Amino acid sequence: MSEERPAPPPPPPTLPTLLRRIVPSVLAALVLYGAFVAYGDARKLGAALSTFDWRVVPVAVGLTAVNYAARMLRWHWYLRLVGARIGVRDSARVFLLGLPLVLTPAKVGEVLKSWVVRTISGAPVATTMPTILAERLVDGLAMIILSGVGLWGFPDHRVRYVALGTLAVMLAIVAVVQVRPLAEWVLERAERLPVVGPKAHQLHGFYESSYTLLRPRNLLPSVAIGIGSWLCEGLAFYAILRGLGAAPGMETVLEAIFIFSISTVVGALVATPAGLGGVEGMLVVLTPRLVGVSAATATAAALLVRFATLWFGVLLGVGSLVVWRRLLQPPEDGR
């Protein structure tokens, strides 16, 4: 009697379905930004924007593009580490397709990238999905390290506790994954369970990929890439602040990097799509306290940097989804 092959996973969502899932987050962002405009006083906000040096926008967008390029190369490296046979051009296209999916709840839509890799290379979804989780973990570590520039001098100890707690959880995940006997014991027990047992064998590939990606020899350069790439977005925030009249100098640079980094960490913890509300709120609260600008200027800076970072990526990704929509089709052989 031949061994029964596991049923193929369901096909990925279509382009219209993906766009429908993004629309609620876009509408929520419009409402949210309207509230921030009201908070910053629309008249004062308009006055701040009237003096804004729009020449810094290409600088901020360019720094964001450098961030994307570095993370794109790391994504390709990750895929090769887990055994996916895919070229740089194709992995770059998959990375771009995933940019607007940060607007899905808890970024779960990014799992689509594993589906597309499967379409291109035939690599199982369970094998490549850990690359997405590793990206989130490594970027979180990088952001906490960057925020450490000013964390200990920040007057509110609660922010330090949040950052340290998040760092501890991330390091614990890395440590647990690297304890192979513990993981194998858990997988063996899972295979004996009545409900999940028949599918538990798929977790072995998931674990092996996670173990490879989080090994110290791979984790350390990954974090270094994350620090460099997210540093660019911190510098993009500095460019926006300079365009709004903030004082030049290294002190403002370090403050901008700290504010943007810790705001991104908080945005990830609130678990809204793309950190909506959490990131902007922290930017608006911290910027006047540390940089010494008005609430209206801080609100303008928060909105402008989010357009130069988050929404630039979303527009780039939506365009990629439209141009390369055929990549969303499942493979013909049903693998």
- Per residue in 117-164, pLDDT (tens digit) is 998 998 988 899 999 989 989 998 999 888 876 665 555 667 667 777
Confidence of residue 260 (pLDDT cuts 50, 70, 90): very high
- Determine the structural domain holding residue 230 and report its residue range: 15-27+55-325
Q: State the pLDDT at residue 331.
A: 56
- pLDDT tens-place string over residues 180-189: 888 778 777 7
Could you tell me if 94 and 321 are in contact, meaning their C-beta atoms sit under 8 angstroms apart?
Answer: no
Single-letter amino acid code for the residue at 51: T
For residue 72, pLDDT beyond 90:
yes
Tokens of 25: 């987050």
Is 156 contained in some domain?
yes
Question: Is the CA virtual torsion 44, 46, 51, 53 positive or negative?
Answer: positive
For residue 2, pLDDT beyond 50:
no
Is 89 contained in some domain?
yes
For residue 61, pLDDT beyond 90:
yes
Q: What's the domain count of the chain?
A: 1
- Integer CA distances (angstroms), 148 to 154, 231, 235, 255, 314, in order: 10, 12, 16, 11, 28
Is 62 contained in some domain?
yes
Query: Taking Cα atoms as reference points, which of 158, 108, 172 lies closest to residue 136?
Result: 108
What mean pLDDT value characterizes the chain? 85
Is 332 contained in some domain?
no
Q: State the pLDDT at residue 153.
A: 54
The contacts of residue 3 (CB under 8 Å, 6+ apart) are none
Burial 64-74 (b: 16+ CB within 10 A, else e): bebbbebbbbb
- Integer CA distances (angstroms), 216 to 81, 135, 174, 210, 221, in order: 13, 15, 9, 12, 9
Q: Is 15 or 140 the better-scoring residue by pLDDT? A: 140
Q: State the pLDDT at residue 1.
A: 41
- pLDDT tens-place string over residues 209-244: 888 998 999 999 999 999 999 999 999 999 999 999
Share of the chain above pLDDT 90, in %: 46
Is 4 contained in some domain?
no
- Integer CA distances (angstroms), 93 to 96, 237, 295, in order: 5, 27, 39
Could you tell me if 157 and 113 are in contact, meaning their C-beta atoms sit under 8 angstroms apart?
Answer: no
Is 331 contained in some domain?
no
Query: Taking Cα atoms as reference points, which of 27, 32, 70 lies closest to residue 267?
Result: 32
